Structure 1
Amino acid sequence: MILINVKFRVKPEHTATFLTDIDWFTTATRAEPGNLFFDWYQSPADPGEFILVEGFHDDAAEPHVNSEHFQRACRELPGYLVETPEIINTLIAGKTVWDRMAEFQVKN
């Protein structure tokens, strides 16, 4: 799995509508055959901070960055942002599913 976390700092005038405005990007990425998950989170402490958590199959990076919707996002998303996003990107070879957390076991 290619695991990517991206931190976006959104301009104050766009925080309320950011996720709706870029839903075209989220929807198209989630529809990619190699996408495992593509989830946005807004910080409760700082409404201008959004975190994108992405997972793709090991061979899906090139089709994703070459897609029309990714290229459009490269052109349009910077207009919403205060600064260049920060990213953590790593490959977890062969991984495609979430594991259960050992430390917080729920007993029913």
Structure 2
Amino acid sequence: MIFIVVKWKPKPEYVDSFMDQVAEFTAATRNEPGNLFFDWSRSVEDPSEYVLVEGFRDGEAGKEHVSSEHFKKFVAQAPSLLASTPLIISQEIDATGWGEMGEIKVG
């Protein structure tokens, strides 16, 4: 799996509407056959920062994502929404999705 985490800092005028601004891109990415998850959250320490956690089946799925029309459209649009360049961690990991946490069991 390709596991990606990206930190996003929208311009002040887009902080509260950022999820609306990325909704089309998010829906299109979630519909890609190789996408495993594409989940946004807002930082609890800095409410003006969003965190995106992405998972793609493999490198080929990742390549298909970055060559898609919706990705290219979003990459062209994103700088107008952002206060700074996003920060990213992208790694290939030996996993196929989420698993239960071993240290905590419920039920």
TM-score normalised by the chain length of structure 1: 0.93
**In structure 1, distance between residues paired with 2:62 and 2:43:** 27
Q: Corresponding residue for 1:53?
A: 53
C-alpha offsets along residues 6-25 of structure 1, whole Å, 9 cap, x if unaligned? 00011111011110121000
**In structure 1, distance between residues paired with 2:7 and 2:40:** 10
Unpaired stretches in structure 1, ≥5 consecutive residues: none
**In structure 2, distance between residues paired with 1:90 and 1:70:** 19
The two structures, once aligned, show a CA RMSD in angstroms of 0.9
**In structure 2, distance between residues paired with 1:48 and 1:82:** 10
Q: Corresponding residue for 1:85?
A: 86
User: Secondary structure of 2:20's match?
Assistant: helix
**In structure 2, distance between residues paired with 1:51 and 1:78:** 16
Cα deviation for residue 88 of structure 1 reads 0.4
Cα deviation for residue 44 of structure 1 reads 2.4
TM-score normalised by the chain length of structure 2: 0.94
Residue correspondences, number: 106
| Pairing 1:1-108 to 2, within 5 Å after superposition | 1-58=1-58, 59-93=60-94, 95-106=95-106, 108=107
User: Secondary structure of 1:83's match?
Assistant: coil
Moved more, 96-105 or 35-44: 96-105
Unpaired stretches in structure 2, ≥5 consecutive residues: none
User: Secondary structure of 1:72's match?
Assistant: helix
* Counterpart residue type for residue 28 of structure 2: A
* Counterpart residue type for residue 89 of structure 1: S
User: Secondary structure of 2:105's match?
Assistant: coil
